Amino acid sequence: MNQTLFRMTMAFAASVGLSITGAAQANSNPSTSAGDTEKAAFIDNLISEMNLEEKFGQLTQAPGAWNDTGPAVPETGSDDIRDGKIGSFLSVYGAEVTHEMQRIAVEESRLGIPLLFAHDVIHGFRTIFPVPLAESASWDPEAAEKSSRVAAIEATAHGVHWTYAPMVDVTREPRWGRVVEGAGEDPYLGSVMAAARVRGFQGDDMTATDTILACAKHFAAYGGAEGGRDYNTVDISERTLREVYLPPFKAAAAAGVATFMAAFNDINGVPSHANPFLYREVLRGEWDWDGLVVSDYTGIWELMDHGVAATREDAGVMALEAGVDVDMLSKIYEELPAAVRSGRLDETVVDAAVRRVLELKYDLGLFDDPYRYSDVEREKANTLTPEFRQTAREVAHESMVLLKNDRKTLPLSKDLQSLAIIGPLADDPHSCLGNWAAAGRPEDAITVLEGIREAMPETEIHYAQGCHVSDHDTSGFEQAVEAARAADAVVLVLGEHRDMSAEAKSRSSLNLPGVQRELAEAVLGTGKPIVVVLMNGRPLSIPWLDENIPAILEAWFLGVETGPAVADVLFGDVNPSGKLPITFPRNVGQVPIYYNHRNTGRPADPDDMYTSKYIDAPWTPLYPFGYGLSYTEFSYSGLQLSSEVIGPDDSLEVQVELTNAGERPGTEVVQLYIQDLVGSTARPVRELRRFERVPLEPGESKVLTFTLQPEDLACLDRNLQPTVEPGDFKVYVGGSSVATLSAPFTVQSANNP
């Protein structure tokens, strides 16, 4: 331990009547009331010893360095670490690397304050899981929690303290590249998945060495970017902000998320990095959350490009006063001591931000043992283990969505003598990983082609790439057609490559890129049974495939176990159970299209010209939110409510019977929606309020009971205050957002006897 920090710790211990051993023990157990008091005193003492440059150093995050083998100790950053000018690093990992950087911080700097190491651990660290949109298609929060827990175990074994996940942005905009990184279009599903991922990352003990700090991002409404263009402006009402975009963030805060990240966008003209309404009023005021807020990359510097700051100092002062504690990579905060000395910036604002940084380091036990995350043996034992891969395969099973299955084309027979595997993504390990693959490696991933070969060793496999994903070269069509003609059936793997779905990957079209549709037409001409497997990170417009291909399986980007998981579903070892977390449009002209829209004064009516629809295309989606087929059939019956009339403070029980009416075991995602028929403001036509994954054997039935609480029926009134308004409601229960089984009930006024 640095001698100055040792002296400060001794002084602190004496001031509260503890031995140095007692102080160290208190540091490692901050969950108790006494521990909280000791933590506050320890941090007070440390802040009192810091000069302005060291304070702003704690608020500065720097980039890591890389060499041919991966992350390395940054040569130019070592002096800054010694001088206390850096509090955290981005994209640095590895037990040896982080140990050495931590050694410089705690042994060679004046105060010996340990560093935080942050990384984008979005859907796995080395064991890469399905991308978040895919995982959300599982409608399984336990799976999301489990995958985040594995990611936390791996990442922390490699020295990482802090992940910039989960992304909880709701979006109704499939053109936006970062739709792949979230949970889709629904606030309720997004809230459930957000809380699950926070629990998985952070566990239930912040002092454990496999705890990784989670970060809910991007606050707020980043997914509402105009035109689907990343980083673009967002112009929405406060009602839409509060009803649609904020609920998953509030759920993450309630789950104890340690940090939030600011968004690149502005909202109604105010950039998020300079928006005190978001951080001071909503986050810290209304929600009573007091964690740390970090900027997104150079978001503070970008306040100048937004046109609200003229200088770097302007930008830094605005961001810090708005409530953004840590500056990621802009290195603007390190320039702000002059603003404090001139009286422009109050030092108490700086101290509050520094306190939040130090509290995280304290809670992780880094003051007690700065090297506790940098254990080479733990790193070796917790990387890409067979158990981790098996978990990734199981989550991938649940993430796939069966979009079409005419004439029971799927599952394919295991008795096939020959099979053609065709398509530009059939043997693409990079795309299996998806984007934001952290430390994942292409050689770790098993492709669809490899997975099928492993699953069907006796079957003759004919492989042809056919074309590339996004160019217009058709020279490979002939080989693809020959492969199809030589086989009993065809698996056609189409979609987007991984670099088409992620940050800065917005698209103006949702069609299959390149000549992939033409490839499908050529293969279809052989007359062989065809199954399309889609790999993509956003909804695609595929009406031609829907009209012409008998079976379509949405596989997204499934991670390292892509091939085995897809093979398990194609050949019937696993019955698909995923449901769409976002609507699939027929064409890009329908966007934005989402299930929980408000009604208009002229709802769409095919028999009335003067209603809300198109003259050149249906207004309905190709596949609605919540949709997904199975190899078996499920039936719903016996919908009953505990009462037809309730008060505004009453709960309501909803019962329904689900039956597996088919011949295979299967799992159905039962979904419950409500509709507020008359309110003081126009209400959505439906709102998801409950769901449950239910496994059933053939012929088995189960009665399910859901309990709706008053908050499930509440809306924001005309003054944006939450209230349960009296009036008529409907409950819908079924397998998607267009379920027809319904029952009415009425909420009486509190004054009604």
Amino acid at 234: V
* Residue 71 confidence (pLDDT): 72
pLDDT at position 544 is 98
Pick the last residue of a domain from 538, 571, 590. Answer: 590
The residue from 590, 611, 645 where one domain ends is 590
Q: Are residues 103 and 237 in the same domain?
A: yes
One domain, residues 375 and 413: no
Q: Where is average pLDDT lowest: 54-68, 612-626, 664-678?
A: 54-68
The CATH number covering residue 705 comes to 2.60.40.10
Q: What is the pLDDT of residue 64?
A: 84
Residue 600 lies in a domain: no
Range 640-653 average pLDDT: 98
| 725 strand-pairing partners | none
Are 292 and 213 in a shared domain? no
Domain contains 385: no
CATH of the domain at 435: 3.40.50.1700
Instruction: Give the global pTM.
Output: 0.95
Cα(260)–Cα(240) distance, integer angstroms: 20
DSSP-based three-state secondary structure for 594: coil
Question: What pLDDT is recorded for position 67?
Answer: 64
Residue 80 included in any domain: yes
| Residue 628, domain member (yes or no) | no
What pLDDT shows up at residue 424?
98
- Taking residue 464's Cβ as centre, other Cβ atoms within 10 Å add up to 23
269 and 286 share one domain: yes
Phi-psi region of 699 (alpha: psi -120 to 50; beta: other; left: phi over 0): left
Q: Is residue 616 part of a domain?
A: no
Structure-token pair, residue 358:
């130090």
Q: Distance between CA atoms of 362 and 383, rounded to whole angstroms?
A: 27
Domain membership flag for residue 625: no
Domain range for 515: 394-590
Residue 138 and residue 37 share a domain = yes
Whether 143 and 269 share a structural domain: no
pLDDT exceeds 60 at position 194: yes
**Span 32-36, average pLDDT:** 73
Phi/psi for 508 (5° steps) reads: -90, -10
User: Which stretch of DSSP H or E encloses residue 563?
Assistant: helix 562-570
Average confidence (pLDDT) over 116-140: 98
- Whole-number Å distance between alpha carbons of 346 and 424: 58
In angstroms, the CA 273 to CA 24 distance is 37
Segment 18-46 shows an average pLDDT of: 62
Same domain, 335 and 195: no
- Considering the domain architecture, whether residues 91 and 189 belong to the same structural domain is answered as yes
pLDDT band at 5, cuts 50/70/90? Answer: low
pLDDT tens sequence across 276-299: 999 999 999 999 999 999 999 999
* Mean pLDDT for the chain overall: 94
- Please, which residues bridge with residue 637 across strands? 657
Note the pLDDT tens digit of each residue in 494-550.
999 999 999 999 999 999 999 999 999 999 999 999 999 999 999 999 999 999 999
CATH number of the domain within which 139 lies: 3.20.20.300
Could you give the residue numbers annotated as active site?
296
Same domain, 132 and 277: no
pLDDT in tens, 153-167: 999 999 999 999 999
186 pLDDT exceeds 70? yes
Tens digits of residue pLDDT in 313-354: 999 999 999 999 999 999 999 999 999 999 999 999 999 999
Q: Are 580 and 702 part of one and the same domain? A: no
**Would you state the pLDDT for residue 31?**
43
> Distance between CA atoms of 158 and 152, rounded to whole angstroms?
10
Q: How many domains does the chain have?
A: 4
- Asked, for residue 525, whether it belongs to a domain, the answer is yes
pLDDT-derived band of residue 11, with 50, 70 and 90 as boundaries?
Answer: very low
Which pLDDT score, from 0 to 100, does residue 13 have? 40
Q: Give a yes or no: residue 43 inside a domain.
A: yes
Same domain, 9 and 123: yes
232 and 309 housed in the same domain: no
* Contact partners, residue 146, CB within 8 Å, separation at least 6: 200, 391, 395
Q: What is the pLDDT of residues 347-377, one digit of tens each?
A: 999 999 999 999 999 999 999 999 999 999 9
What confidence tens digit (pLDDT) does each residue in 459-502 have?
999 999 999 999 999 999 999 999 999 999 999 999 999 999 99
Query: What pLDDT does 77 receive?
Result: 74
Residue 457, classified by CB atoms within 10 Å of its CB into exposed (0-12), middle (13-18) or buried (19+), is exposed
Q: 3-state DSSP: the chain helix, strand, coil percent, rounded to 5?
A: 35, 20, 45
